[in-house]
Amino acid sequence: MERFCGIIKPKARSKSQLNASLANAVIIAEHLNHVKFTRSMRLGAVTIKSSPTAISYPVLLDCFKPHLSTYQRTCLEMILKCHNLVIEGYKRCQLRQDLLVGSTQSQRRSDVNRRDYRICYQEPGKRQRGFSEVQYFACLGELGNWAWIRTLDGVEVDKMKGVINFHCIGSHHWIPVEWMQSLIGIIRESGVNLIVSDIDLFS
């Protein structure tokens, strides 16, 4: 029992809703333990390796039915050069074992719920990182897993001061979930939106 308490204690994140935070973390952990038994392999969200207990990430969680606008569908079809796409929506993505990314769809009580839908991402071949808010995730089977995001625009990087800020919320577009690197936080001070993260954003 003491060993189990030691495992779940670090999972409690919310100070104001400790019980709910702890319960949600335990439920999500159990979902990941059992996901290999419940998900269809054709979805491409889970791949069973040689070991029956090994799961390759990312893993999409909390399925829901998305209502894609014509613009959203057209953007995705132009990127993938494919029509009549079958799309399944998800509220969360376990990007790797230590990183669970949420979306605006997964937020229930914004006053106490942890805002885990703000991310840092990097397109392959580009040095500059992007910052955005995830609206939701989509699984397209063999075409991979994608995220419908809203960018943070007007990003300014001051390496001398070690500060990154942005000016406004920007436009929507699709990105592969593999581009995501970490969660970010926003600190608003005197009208300035500062971006913070647990990775080195200046390298």
What would the pLDDT profile of 102-150 be if each residue is shown by its tens digit?
999 988 765 555 688 999 999 998 888 899 999 999 999 889 999 999 9
The answer to whether residue 176 is domain-embedded is yes
CA dist 32 and 88 (Å) reads 19
Report if pTM > 0.75. no
**Phi, psi for 135 (deg, rounded to 5):** -85, -45
Q: Is residue 7 assigned to a domain?
A: no
Tell me how many domains the chain contains: 1
Expressed as residue numbers, the domain containing 110 is 58-197
In a domain, 30, yes or no: no
Domain of 81, CATH number, reads: 2.30.30
Per-residue pLDDT at 189: 76
Within a domain: residue 46? no
Is residue 201 within 8 A of residue 122, CB to CB? The reply is no
Q: Residue 179 falls within a domain, yes or no?
A: yes
98 burial type by CB count under 10 A (0-12 exposed, 13-18 middle, 19+ buried): exposed
Contacting residues for 125 by C-beta, under 8 A, at least 6 apart: none
Judged against a pLDDT cut of 80, whether residue 54 lies above it is answered with no
Residue 41 resides in a domain = no
Instruction: Output the pLDDT for position 45.
Output: 44
Residue 171 lies in a domain: yes
Q: Which pLDDT tens digit goes with each residue over 58-115?
A: 899 999 998 889 999 999 999 998 888 889 999 999 998 888 999 999 887 655 556 8
How buried is 175 (Cβ within 10 angstroms: 0-12 exposed, 13-18 middle, 19+ buried)? buried
Residue 35 forms part of a structural domain? no
